[in-house]
Structure 1
Amino acid sequence: MSAATAGSTGIGDPYFPGDGNGGYDATHYGLALAYDPKSRQLGGTATIDAKATQDLSQFNLDLSGFTVRSVTVNGAPAEFSRKGSELTVRTDLKDKAAFKVEVAYAGTPQPVRESSNLGSYGFIPTPDGSFVTCEPNGAKTWFPSNDHPADKATFDFTLTVPEGVTAIANGELAGQPKTTNGKTTFIWREKHPMTTYLATMTTGKFQVRTGTSPGGIPVYAAADPRFRTSLNSLYDQSGKITDYWATVFGPYPFGSTGGVVDDFAAGYALENQTKPIYGGFEPDEGIIAHELAHQWFGNSLSITRWKDLWLNEGFATYAEWLWSEHRGQGTAQQQFNDAYAGATDAIWKYPPGETRPNDLFNASVYTRGGMALHALRLEIGDGKFFPLIKKWAADHRYGNVTTEQFIELAEKTSGKQLDDLFDAWLFKQRKPAKPTSVS
């Protein structure tokens, strides 16, 4: 009989060795949190359902900052300690045992600042609430978690804010918000598996519009008063684009679509599951098309390791080109030609199939990743390319994926050996020859 050992302090991603944790799989997060924009205090409890993957003497959760008041495992008080962004919990769990952890904590959230990847991210306080975008590893700035995309879980959010403030999270509202004693509580439920970096608790004085897309998908759109003129466009375009992607990529994987425009000048958007968020600007059709394509590629299909980020960003970039083609505003071929002609040497020296941890969001991951997909389309033809994309989305719905799996499926679907094509576009530090159409 094996002795219990400590779960590892990382999930095993060499690009981000401290992210995530070993020894267990999280299956559900229940976040019951209250936030006061004036004091910037966030507090409450996180209840995590998980399953041990080994005999466990202790396990870790990722949490940055805050005062942890108590931890229980299966209802019993547990010893715990803190070091950096690791919360270590002592326990005695058998392999495959289901267990429940409850962490009570409070404090002032501190986002990740001056990142080489995205500037500031995580839980970012704003004058009227919070702007919450967590890619790649900012979930730990507001709740304890297994903070890596390889471990997906369902989520419930019970969020309490001052009356007059709206709290927005993933999934759908479970009933109408309730106000008592000057506080309003919103309950959101995301019943589909989600990576931690896609979770949000965006709060503020939003204007909201709800309804359904022409295809019948529920839509939730919200805009800060500063961007009130963008609300109807965001609502209309989100519904229309989601419906179109369902014809290209297969059925929409989640219970609702939409988006949020906040007044925090992030300078970027993030594909938060079911509700992409746009930081300080009115999004045009192209960027909405990009973020909503992520609901399939990045959200339903999530990467197993960060090195494969092109599977998210290359696909979403190519979706922008497909949307342009659909709208008669320039074919994907024209977009490819422009990108190929205008690409700098830096893109060709950065192979997107091996994303760099200190430069995750390099233009190569987006543009050269999208170009790789167009090169594949030209090589195998539309009659095989579009069924391939649908099968890719269907086969791995709600799961985790790797580049190797995509290459294998592309070769199986097309009946072609494609190593040279993918090697040239994803892994070589040089400019590939310009491809031509399939004969």
Structure 2
Amino acid sequence: RKAGGTRIEVYAARLAEDVLEKRHVATHPAGELVVRRTSEGPLPVAVLPKPVPPLDPTALLDNVAESASNAVKYFESLFGPFPYSRLAISQVPGHFGQGWPGLVYLPTLSFLAKGERSQMGLGGRSEELRSQLSVAHEIAHQWWGNKVGWSTYRDQWLSEGFATYAAALHASREKDGERTFREVMRGYKDDLLSKTREGETIESGGPIWLGHRLRNSRNPDGYVTIVYEKSCWVVHMLRALMADPVTGSDDRFFGMLREFLSTQRDRDVSTQDFLRHADKHMTPEMDLDGSGSLEWFFSTWVYGTGIPTYKLQVNTRQISPKSFLVEGNIEQSDVPAEFEMKVPVVADYGKGRKVRLGLVHVSETGGRFRFTTPARPARVAIDEENLLAVVQ
């Protein structure tokens, strides 16, 4: 199969690994044992049911190839040309995937039909999402992790965070995609806020830049939850901050990513490399401290810990026939004193029409704001779909 100029090859074995095959046989409804009397003698003849047909991962090779082709084409529109002339996809046993230059490993479950996974008790909503996201995640590593690598374990979040976010974006293009995207991002937020046995949130285990050191006996899920899922949120928030305040266009953000991937090709980059590149593309509204740098954002979300709780107080009043004043304050809690963020505030005019009023600088002392709008909003709210926070 071809995706633009990229040849895609998919390989799978004709049999699944024993652990899946045994589960398949155990959960497959067997036929009935039939006993018949014959005229040939006094003994009955037992007719055994047909054996359960084995799992055949090769049956869906075309489906996997189609999914891979769609992902490659979509990611080319976001990140630039596919880095290699060929992409080989190979089935591997287990529940993991990996992405190497021009090669992707996918678990056997990715090669099985939805009905087969469901029959084995592996077809719930979470399993379906995981299977859907895994293909896109590993293909995204062709750009994030292979075309551009990472300098040390402290910088690996760039690879995993962008691949995780790319997979979520790819899911948003499917049927009911926007709902699925929100479900994925909310799931990641819930994971970060979930508690360890000691009663602490998983996110509090340490900052993103600690990498593999986040996994320990007190927080066994720390590495995956923080480096993959929190990093995904960091990328999403950076995209939201860079969006055009009037049109909502993402051109600035994805243009920045394409330029970074192009200029840093075949390099192992650091967090500071990416920070310095992002600085070149920041908008005046993103300049929280007047330094002309996003150092504040990375200090808060990559080098620091904490998920804030925000409480909004707002008042709207008409100040002229065609103008309304929206003013209020945002209170911040549950984070360190030095935690600061540009919080997006939106006006909801009903019938699905939402407009970002602006970004509010919120710190330990809160964040006051004043916006004008030509119509009275039905509701003014913190844009929690684009913010890793608890909004009260």
For structure 2, which runs of at least 5 residues remain unmatched after alignment? 16-56, 112-130, 195-200, 216-221, 244-249, 288-292, 311-342, 346-355, 359-392
Q: CA RMSD in A?
A: 2.2
Equivalent in 223, 233, 252 of residue 384 of structure 1: 252
In the other structure, the counterpart of 2:271 is 403
For 1:119-198, what aligned pairs fall within 5 Å after superposition? none
Contact 2:191 2:202 in 1 (8 A): no
State the SS of the aligned residue for 2:344: coil
Note the C-alpha offset of 1:422.
Answer: 1.7
State the SS of the aligned residue for 1:276: strand
Cα deviation 1:367-416 (Å, max 9, x = unaligned): 00000001111111123211111111111112211100111111111144
Distance 1:239 1:358 in 2: 35
| Residues 1:218 and 2:7 are matched in the alignment | yes
Equivalent in 166, 169, 172 of residue 322 of structure 1: 169
Note the C-alpha offset of 1:289.
Answer: 0.8
State the SS of the aligned residue for 1:397: coil
| Residues 1:419 and 2:208 are matched in the alignment | no
Q: 1:224 to 1:433 in 2, by over 3 A?
A: farther
Higher share in helix: 2
Contact 2:188 2:225 in 1 (8 A): no
Cα deviation 1:209-241 (Å, max 9, x = unaligned): xx322x231111101112112311111111121
Distance 2:73 2:88 in 1: 12
For 1:103-114, what aligned pairs fall within 5 Å after superposition? none
Cα deviation 1:319-347 (Å, max 9, x = unaligned): 11111222242265554344224422112
State the SS of the aligned residue for 1:427: coil
| Aligned pairs, number | 226
For structure 1, which runs of at least 5 residues remain unmatched after alignment? 1-210
In the other structure, the counterpart of 2:137 is 290
Distance 1:348 1:321 in 2: 24
Note the C-alpha offset of 1:312.
Answer: 0.7
Larger Rg: 2
Q: 1:230 to 1:432 in 2, by over 3 A?
A: farther
Equivalent in 352, 362, 380 of residue 208 of structure 2: 352
Distance 1:365 1:337 in 2: 16
Distance 1:212 1:285 in 2: 21
TM-score by length of 1: 0.48
Contact 2:87 2:102 in 1 (8 A): yes
For 1:12-411, what aligned pairs fall within 5 Å after superposition? 211-213=1-3, 215-226=4-15, 227-262=57-92, 264-265=93-94, 267-282=95-110, 284-327=131-174, 328-330=176-178, 332=181, 335-343=184-192, 344=194, 345-357=201-213, 359=215, 361-381=223-243, 382-411=250-279
Q: 1:295 to 1:425 in 2, by over 3 A?
A: same
Contact 1:239 1:258 in 2 (8 A): no
Distance 1:274 1:286 in 2: 19
Distance 2:59 2:272 in 1: 44
Distance 2:270 2:308 in 1: 22
State the SS of the aligned residue for 2:210: coil
Distance 2:62 2:185 in 1: 31
Q: 1:258 to 1:244 in 2, by over 3 A?
A: farther
TM-score by length of 2: 0.53
Partner amino acid, structure 2, of 1:224: A
